Amino acid sequence: MLAPAFVLQRCATVAQAEAALAALGGASGCAGLLLEATDAADRPTAPLAREARAVRGALPVIALVRRSARWCAATLALLELPPAAVTVAEDLDLGSVRRALGDRLRDAEFVASVWGELEADVPGPLQPLLRFALERSARPLTVQSLADAMGLHRKTLWSRCRRHGVDTPQELVTWCRLLAAEHALRECARPVDAVAEELAFASPTALRNAIRRHVGTTPSALRAPDAPRAVCDGFRAWMRERTRAAAAAPRGVTWSDVA
């Protein structure tokens, strides 16, 4: 478990982990879980993750799968949560664990910081798609990987987006990456070039061009102390316009047919 101060607490059994969570006040004091499929007593750990997430829904979970371990129902149960990430390793490298959990915590904090502002403007069928894209916004995400994560055929994913006025799933992915860039620019003092690299943009110029094209401003303007959240506001306006256009389209006709 990773506490807010990044103190790693190791537990050999599910019972020990449950006791540690209780001592922390449920899951409120726990920032993340690293779980093998079974504990030292061969008890499945997936129920522990579900229990902790019931208290704090966005709790990051990293599944640790050892190459030498046998695959079993407990492993499948853990991977079907789904976890925030899967780490395959021979031995437990605590340094790597801390870095991985730190990355996942930052991702979770970013999603929590923007979701409350975005949710009301996003049609219900697109909300799981948007949340997933937000959670993966710090790395490239293809339409196929998005479809696979949603358990949808690629064509079904495209149809769902078009039904709600979004021409392509990649449009949502691009907005999510810009939202992550805006959050990073406002929350840290790192140079624009460093933010572009961390978020896997092709280049700092690519990030600058994407911000200019979508919201008509610059990265430096986004991080000004009194600046409005231009990307967040721009996405909400864009989503509302797409939703209105889709609702106005004749029945049986998708937005893409009239765009």
Question: What angle (nearest 5°) sits at the alpha carbon of residue 70, between those of residues 46 and 82?
Answer: 30
Measured CA to CA in angstroms, residue 64 lies from 10, 52, 92, 104 at distances of 14, 17, 8, 14
232 within 8 A of 178, measured Cβ to Cβ: no
pLDDT at 255: 44
pLDDT value of position 229: 92
3-class DSSP state of 102? helix
- Residue 175 and residue 183: Cα distance in Å, rounded? 12
pLDDT over 90 (residue 36): no
pLDDT at 241: 96
pLDDT on residue 257: 44
Cβ distance 52 to 72 under 8 Å? no
* pTM of the entire predicted model: 0.66
Q: Using one digit for the tens of pLDDT, what is the confidence trace for 159-176? A: 999 999 999 999 999 999
- 188-202 in b/e burial notation, b at 16+ Cβ within 10 A? eeeebeebbebbebe
pLDDT of residue 125: 94
* Nearest-10 Cα torsion for 244, 248, 249, 252: 100
Handedness of CA 230, 232, 233, 239 (dihedral sign): positive
Grouping H, G, I as helix, E, B as strand and the rest as coil, residue 164 is coil
Mean pLDDT, rounded, for 35-58: 85
Distance in angstroms (rounded) separating the CA atoms of residues 236 and 130: 12
DSSP one-letter code for 67: T
**Based on the number of CB atoms within 10 Å of its own CB, is 80 exposed (0-12), middle (13-18) or buried (19 or more)?**
exposed
pLDDT band for 94, please (50, 70, 90 cuts): low
Taking CA atoms, 151 is separated from 147, 148, 252, in Å, by 6, 5, 25
Percent of the chain at pLDDT > 70 equals: 83
Task: Tell me if 61 sits within 8 A of 32, measured CB to CB.
Answer: yes
Q: What are the tens digits of pLDDT across the range 52-93?
A: 877 766 677 888 887 777 778 888 888 888 776 676 666 656
pLDDT tier for residue 259 given thresholds of 50, 70 and 90: very low
Tell me, what's the pLDDT at 156?
94
Confidence at residue 167, expressed as pLDDT on a 0 to 100 scale: 94
